[in-house]
Amino acid sequence: MRIAVASRDGRTVAGHIGKCADWIVYEAEAGSPGEPARVAEVGRVALAKEFVFHHYQGDAPHPLAGCTAVIGASAGDSFVAKMAKRGIEAVLTAEPDPARAAADYVEHHVTPAKPRPIGGLICKLRDALSGEK
């Protein structure tokens, strides 16, 4: 499966993934019983502004459309819902290492994202003002 992890610096998992332009793409598969998942970086994607999820609209093929999941440190509920409509799971994690975050997803033990009460309120307010749900 293909997994994209938001990373602005190429070394750590980024937050606010709906506005993130830089992604590390991994090909991953579960390991045999008792073995860790196999995760290999297959590319890096720098999205043009029109493809950053916060701005992306329409039916144009998205560069990350073939991914099973997108992973980052934070996102609003509307982003998670939009991604689900596209058939992509949005996963939030506190794991700072992109490759480890991808492996954790494959192994079904993602480190829960840290609470962000102020950021969550801002996302909900922005969604309410824009009419998104």
pLDDT along the chain (133 residues), means of 10: 97 94 96 88 97 86 95 91 93 97 95 71 61 55
Q: Which domains occur in the chain, in start order?
A: 2-112 (3.30.420.130)
At residue 11, the pLDDT reads 97
User: What confidence score (pLDDT) does residue 122 get?
Assistant: 58
Give pTM, 2 decimals.
0.85
CB-based contact 106:35 (threshold 8 Å): no
Residue 80's pLDDT is 92
**pLDDT reported for residue 110:** 95
d(CA 67, CA 46): 15
Of 82, 101, 106, 107, residue with least CA distance to 7: 101
